[in-house]
Amino acid sequence: MELGEKKLFIAIGAGGVLLLVMAAAVAWYLVAPRLSGFHEDLPLIVGAAALLGFAAIAVGLGIIALSTVIGRRVLFSQRITSTVIRILFPPVFMLSRIIGIDRDTVKRSFIAVNNALVAAGRDTLKSGKLLLLLPHCLQSTDCRNKITGGLIENCQGCGRCVISSLLTLAREHDLALTVATGGTLARRVIGEVKPAAIIAVACETDLTSGIRDSYPLPVYGILNERPHGPCRDTTVNLDRVKEAIAFFASAGK
Ligand code: SF4
């Protein structure tokens, strides 16, 4: 992933922190007279606590940015990283709407930041099962075989879609592989397989929500390709999947 792609989420995140501070300042200004009715020092205490909270978020974002640039985790656990990102999501998307950047562009940048953080945490990755999580739209619409859930072995390997190549890869590298029809099935499979990490293929929206839902589990996201439009006969760059498998194979302890 290029640095430029990651920069966007970090930059809008910084703007998001500013937006939160401004909203909190207005809220503080409005409620301060009421708070002082309880105790004269209460507005100061609430204001100082809020400032400390925002400073922590800003420091968190700075450390995320530094980790993605130098390719090493800096002072940060995956759990704290995910908390900072979760807090920043609403203001980031609000701000991107205000300045006219489309949501998919921001989501692609978020996925790039997430992947860089997964890569930066390579020394902390736990060993264990790797799950290859695929969207149903990769399957050819002409195929009548039911392959979702635990039925991937129903793929006849005809080669009309990329599923057969992905199944071969999964067998070669002893990966768990699931084709999921949605988030509910994906969550159920993750609960059953209990993977150490996930390589997920999906569109911007599903990858973003899947990565967020799975925190602090490391999820390496790969965007699908949509030559026939969204959700239909999609495909994926197999080299990117192979690179991700090689990364997890060489990482961990
Ligand atoms: S490769 Fe498998 S899933 Fe794809 S069309 Fe052939 S049988 Fe169906």
Give the burial class of 248: count Cβ atoms within 10 A of its Cβ; 0-12 exposed, 13-18 middle, 19 or more buried: buried
Average pLDDT for residues 224-232, to the nearest whole number?
95
Query: Ligand 1 centroid to 184 CA: how many Å?
Result: 23
Are both 52 and 152 inside the same structural domain? no
Are both 235 and 153 inside the same structural domain? yes
Average pLDDT for residues 78-88, to the nearest whole number?
83
Are both 114 and 193 inside the same structural domain? no
Are both 69 and 26 inside the same structural domain? yes
Are both 105 and 78 inside the same structural domain? yes
Are both 62 and 93 inside the same structural domain? yes
Are both 112 and 132 inside the same structural domain? no
pLDDT of residue 1: 45
* Averaged pLDDT score across all residues of the chain: 91
pLDDT, tens digit (0-9, with 9 covering 90-100), for 20-76:
999 999 999 999 999 999 999 999 999 999 999 999 999 889 988 988 888 887 766
Residue 99 has pLDDT above 80, yes or no: yes
Decide which of 66 and 199 is more confident: 199
Q: Looking at beta carbons, which pairs linking 164-167 to residues 24 or more positions away fall under 8 Å?
A: 165/238, 166/132, 166/134, 166/138, 166/236, 166/238, 166/241
Give the burial class of 242: count Cβ atoms within 10 A of its Cβ; 0-12 exposed, 13-18 middle, 19 or more buried: middle
Which of 154, 163, 171 has most ligand 1 atoms within 8 Å of CB, for mutation?
Answer: 163
Which of 142, 153, 161, 167 has most ligand 1 atoms within 8 Å of CB, for mutation?
Answer: 161
Residue where a domain stops, chosen among 88, 120, 152? 120
Are both 100 and 129 inside the same structural domain? no
Are both 244 and 226 inside the same structural domain? yes
Are both 221 and 235 inside the same structural domain? yes
Average pLDDT for residues 233-250, to the nearest whole number?
96
pLDDT, tens digit (0-9, with 9 covering 90-100), for 102-158:
999 999 999 999 999 999 988 888 889 999 999 999 999 999 999 998 899 999 999
Which residues partner with 131 through β-bridges? 176, 198
Which of 138, 145, 168, 177 has most ligand 1 atoms within 8 Å of CB, for mutation?
Answer: 145
Are both 180 and 229 inside the same structural domain? yes
Residues with CB under 6 A from ligand 1: 139-140, 143, 145, 147, 155-161, 163-164
Q: Looking at beta carbons, which pairs linking 32-39 to residues 24 or more positions away fall under 8 Å?
A: none
Query: Ligand 1 centroid to 141 CA: how many Å?
Result: 9
- Determine the structural domain holding residue 57 and report its residue range: 3-120
Number of domains within the chain: 2
Entry field: residues in the chain: 253
